[in-house]
Amino acid sequence: MKGRHAPGNGARRPPDGRSAEPDPGSRRATRTALRVALILIGLVAAVLVYVLVRDFLDFDHAVRNPQDGFSDWQCASESGTCDH
């Protein structure tokens, strides 16, 4: 076989004789950092879902039970729903 990609042409070996693969220590560190980042992203996503569900349930309760009182942002400007 001839050409750049032939197995015997030595194109894959660096000139100083080291292997082309990165050292296992840096690969392990990269894998650990990636795992930590994914865990943190998962935790942030879980907290976001919790906050959104809690706020939705609070809003749903306020809509279904107007006698408990509305927040100012839930009142229509001139509807009289929040007049005391």
Kindly report whether the global pTM for this prediction surpasses the value 0.85.
no
Dihedral over Cα of 48, 49, 53, 54: its sign:
negative
CA-based nearest residue to 20, from 10, 35, 29: 10
Rounded to whole angstroms, the Cα distance separating 21 from 23 reads: 6
Q: pLDDT tens across 21-55, in order?
A: 657 678 888 899 999 999 999 999 999 999 999 99
CA distances from 16 to 11, 13, 38, 59 (A): 12, 8, 36, 67
What is the model's pLDDT at position 26?
82
Per cent of the chain over pLDDT 70 is 51
What is the model's pLDDT at position 41?
98
